[in-house]
Amino acid sequence: MHPNVSQGCQGGCATCSDYNGCLSCKPKLFFVLERIGMKQIGVCLSSCPSGYYGTRYPDINKCTKCKADCDTCFNKNFCTKCKSGFYLHLGKCLDNCPEGLEANNHTMECVSIVHCEASEWSPWSPCTKKGKTCGFKRGTETRVREIIQHPSAKGNLCPPTSETRRCTVQRKKCQKGERGKKGRERKRKKLKEESKDAIPENKGLEPSREAPEQRENKDKQQQKKRKTQDKQQKSVSLSTVH
């Protein structure tokens, strides 16, 4: 054994030196070189750190650094996460995604392009005009559909979700309550005009209403007048007899 090599090492080392740290590891542990300043120190770990992949050999278990564009990897040729600015595709880190794929900037992976999908059209709505289904001959009808799958960035855009076309129906008279807004407005206007026309006819014809006290006073005056007239007639009759 070399004079600088020791077997009384700490931290899982089987053999070590004061200058280089671990030189070999205990069974099942992985040997990895860590750079500290200008020198590299050997360390023994239970698993390889991020940015390294582990390989087991008969005499040593070793951690090896992933490729420069790879953040984490499974082995030398299969990356599981790319460094910033690269997109993962089939274990490789790429600047741009291949034809037929698009970059997902959230997961930093190349993914399939997703096109918009819409449901089947609904049946056509009843023929209407200004919210009514009566009182007209020509109107419009509408049908709608829903978006089932929204597109990805490079996918085909979604089609319109509603369609309107002209329609013709047999004119039918609106029942009470079906006139719609315009019909109700016309009815109110007509009633207003009728009430205006009725006011002049009744003007001045309203019977006067007298209070009970006024009627009583009037009756007393009429009785007093009749009594006076009776007295005058009697006096005239007496003068004629004499």
Please indicate whether residue 203 or residue 167 has the higher confidence score (pLDDT). Answer: 167
Would you say residue 174 has pLDDT above 60?
Answer: yes
- Compute the distance between CA of residue 67 and CA of residue 73 in angstroms, rounded to an integer: 8
Please indicate whether residue 184 or residue 146 has the higher confidence score (pLDDT). Answer: 146
Range 2-8 average pLDDT: 54
What pLDDT is stored for residue 214 in this prediction? 73
Range 88-113 average pLDDT: 93
- Compute the distance between CA of residue 93 and CA of residue 77 in angstroms, rounded to an integer: 10
What pLDDT is stored for residue 205 in this prediction? 44
In sequence order, what E strands does the chain have?
5-6, 13-17, 21-25, 30-36, 39-45, 52-56, 61-65, 70-75, 78-82, 87-89, 92-94, 101-104, 109-112, 117-118, 138-144, 147-149, 162-168
Please indicate whether residue 154 or residue 225 has the higher confidence score (pLDDT). Answer: 154
- Compute the distance between CA of residue 125 and CA of residue 152 in angstroms, rounded to an integer: 32
Query: Residue 188 — very low, low, confident or very high, per pLDDT cuts 50/70/90?
Result: confident
Range 49-55 average pLDDT: 92
Range 231-240 average pLDDT: 60
What pLDDT is stored for residue 222 in this prediction? 79
Range 102-116 average pLDDT: 93
Would you say residue 102 has pLDDT above 70?
Answer: yes
Range 77-94 average pLDDT: 94
Would you say residue 221 has pLDDT above 70?
Answer: yes
What pLDDT is stored for residue 149 in this prediction? 95
Would you say residue 158 has pLDDT above 90?
Answer: yes
Range 175-191 average pLDDT: 64
Nearest-10 Cα torsion for 198, 203, 206, 209 = 140
